[in-house]
Amino acid sequence: MSVSFGAAICVAASRQTYAFHLALRTPCLRTFEHMIRSEQERQRIASVDALRARGIDPYPAPAYPVTHHSASLKETFEEGMQVKLAGRLMSRRIMGKASFAELQDREGSLQIYLNRDELCPGEDKSLYNDVFKKLLDRGDFIGVEGETFTTQVGEPSVKVTSLTVLSKAIRPLPAVKTDEEGNVHDAFTDPELRYRQRYVDLVVNPDVKKTFVARSTIVRKIREVFDAKGWMEVDTPVLQSIPGGAAARPFITHHNALDIPLYLRIANELYLKRLIVGGFDGVYEFSRNFRNEGMDRTHNPEFTVLELYVAYEDYHWMMETTENLFGELAKAVHGSSEVPLGEHTINFAPPYARVTMRDAILEHTGVDIDGLDEAGLRKACESQGIETDDSMGRGKLIDELFGEKCEHHYIQPTFIMDYPTDMSPLTKAHRDKPGYTERFELMINGTEVANAYSELNDPLDQRARFEDQVKLADRGDDEAMFIDHDFLRALEYGMPPTSGIGIGIDRLVMMMTNQTSIQEVLFFPQMRPESFEVSGNAADFSALGVPRVWEEHLVSAGFNSTADVLDAKPTQVHQRLNGFRKKNKLDIPALSLEEVSAWYSSAENHTS
């Protein structure tokens, strides 16, 4: 694809996207004004009003500094400590004038005890009788002050002497229950719900939070190791005029002020190598990359990659560096080099096995790729039941052979090394094997986790490799690389021998936390847009002749639009609305069947 053609696509896409979102703006605003509410939500909203009526702000502005957190308090627990805690109210056991409750904070949960007369020593007992017992619900944030003590059954607890409402929850949390035998009931396990509402997932499924704590530990440990070696963390552009550094389909956008197409980066490699040209000996970046490709259990269109480039080193040195790093990461997360992963136990202790690409394909398919031209490779793929098309060159065909027939065999950490030149347009030619490059990929549990080279620093060779990629693009390969003329210019100023690596952080975290889906290690994985069910505007019912005093109550009774009313029989609507009036003790006149039937006649008159 030429840049000018990309610009045309980009402008059209930008305009379509803008128009799409502009069209959505007004309905989105109506969503919040007329959102359908459950009975529990309506009751909680009423509690918000009741709190305000008592002079209690359900969303106070002042800070609430705490002195302790649940887990660390239990570790240093002594009776008689004065403490101040804050968190979610997760359960209550109300026993008249006294209650036990569970308070959940960032570290876990702790039992609190409330006695009416100790919480409310004066005549006014409403903080306990009304606020705590009636107006607070599971999921609300509260702050408590009190004194630690141990219950008769040995449970560390806090006797509350002061209670502050910090945030009233409108939506009820899923009620996940665990019985005495440890069996979980009504678990919040639906993957789509969990990924869309990760905030709920984190609250009710404690193990989910552990996964993301482990992710943070991994990133922090990598920084610690790299910084100790004197390598510098840097930032490079996300918006790029040339989507270089990898063979992938980019996302296209448009810069209005400059009136040019831009691409969300598919890799940051070429920018980091520019910095090596500029004189840095070691640079790394945790790069947020974007590829407009498929989604599955190991691929998300937005993902995190660590890239590291070190001058005066080669791919052999990078293999040793990588296996030592992974060994340290396993110990940082698990305290051991052995990590459970599905039905396997992965041993991250170095050294790792080293297998050439040629030997791997030969072992698992019987095909010797050495010396095979494109026609021979296409025939070999077809003999293995692998579909091909005319856009696939020699490198893509070899990649398909390895991916389909070999990759899944490598469970324990294994370096697949010495890739054919056709597969590696940014890699230095192998010092001993013509037609091959000094490249490796690290396979764990049948998945690529890292990709590394002895970096190509010959500007003339690099230009020729880029030109070969253009030929593939002309054949229809939409993952072929663009020519980056500025990068070539940088190489012509001279780049020292360099080794570089890209490590997929998301996949690495999967391996270290026993997850089989990339969505489990991303806070907010990409999903299809969610449609929110909204109610009609109460005023819409006036067109049917609904009395003004009844308009808002139709929505509350579950009739979210005039269509909902007309889809039911008049007798059903009559019975339902009057039943709602009686149940909620509404001080409005009851509806007669004749009144309701008249709404249907009004609708017929409007449509005739």
Residue 257 lies in a domain: no
Residue 24 lies in a domain: no
473 & 542 share domain: no
270 & 153 share domain: no
Domain final residue pick, 465, 495, 521 = 521
DSSP notation for 446-499? TEEEEEEEEB---HHHHHHHHHHHHHHHHTT-TTPPPP-HHHHHHHHT----EE
Taking a C-beta distance cutoff of 8 angstroms, is the pair 323, 346 a contact? no
pLDDT under 50: residue ranges of the chain: 1-34
What is the rounded distance in angstroms from the CA atom of residue 306 to the CA atom of residue 503?
A: 5
CA dihedral defined by 222, 333, 322, 352, rounded to 10 degrees? 180
Residue that the structure tokens 């500025």 belong to: 486
Q: Which domain holds residue 139?
A: 58-171
Residue that the structure tokens 């398909």 belong to: 400
Residue 459 lies in a domain: yes
Taking a C-beta distance cutoff of 8 angstroms, is the pair 305, 500 a contact? no
If we measure between CA atoms, which residue out of 519, 14, 475 comes closest to residue 257?
14
CA dihedral defined by 208, 213, 217, 223, rounded to 10 degrees? 110
Residues 6+ apart with CB under 8 A from 544: 562, 565, 599, 602, 603
Let me know the angle formed at the C-alpha of 544 by 542 and 545, rounded to the nearest 5 degrees.
65
67 & 110 share domain: yes
514 & 543 share domain: no
Taking a C-beta distance cutoff of 8 angstroms, is the pair 302, 518 a contact? no
Residue 195 lies in a domain: no
Position 69: which residue type?
A: H
Residue 312 backbone zone (phi > 0: left; psi -120 to 50: alpha; other: beta): left
CATH at residue 330: 3.30.930.10
Residue 573 DSSP SS3? helix
Instruction: Identify the pLDDT of residue 158.
Output: 98
Taking a C-beta distance cutoff of 8 angstroms, is the pair 453, 267 a contact? no
| Residue 220 vs residues 41, 198, 227, 323, 333: alpha-carbon distances, Å | 41, 23, 10, 17, 11
How far from each other are the two terminal CA atoms of the chain, in whole angstroms?
Answer: 55
Instruction: Identify the pLDDT of residue 387.
Output: 92
282 & 319 share domain: yes
What is the rounded distance in angstroms from the CA atom of residue 431 to the CA atom of residue 458?
A: 13
299 & 432 share domain: yes
Residue 602 DSSP SS3? helix
132 & 88 share domain: yes
418 & 495 share domain: yes
Report which DSSP code applies to 391.
T
Residue 52 lies in a domain: no
What is the rounded distance in angstroms from the CA atom of residue 341 to the CA atom of residue 511?
A: 6
Residue 465 lies in a domain: yes
Residue 424 lies in a domain: yes
Position 590: which residue type?
A: A
**Tokens at residue 32, please?**
């919040």
299 & 382 share domain: yes
Residue that the structure tokens 């049948």 belong to: 446
- The string over 363-391, giving b where at least 16 C-beta atoms fall within 10 Å of a residue's C-beta and e elsewhere, is ebbebebeebeeeebbebbeebebebeee
**Tokens at residue 361, please?**
């394909």
Q: Nearest 5°: phi and psi at 105?
A: -125, -165
CATH at residue 161: 2.40.50.140
589 & 482 share domain: no
State how many domains the chain has: 3
The full 3-state SS of 1-32, as one line of letters, equals CCHHHHHHHHHHHHHHHHHHHHHHHHHHHHHH
Q: At what angle do helices 394-405 and 374-383 cross, to 10 degrees?
A: 20
601 & 471 share domain: no
Residues 6+ apart with CB under 8 A from 371: none
**Tokens at residue 60, please?**
């106070």
Instruction: Identify the pLDDT of residue 19.
Output: 45
Taking a C-beta distance cutoff of 8 angstroms, is the pair 527, 195 a contact? yes
Domain final residue pick, 521, 553, 576 = 521
Domain final residue pick, 521, 547, 575 = 521
Residue 243 DSSP SS3? coil
159 & 295 share domain: no
Position 504: which residue type?
A: G
Residue 146 lies in a domain: yes
Q: For the whole model, what pTM was predicted? A: 0.81
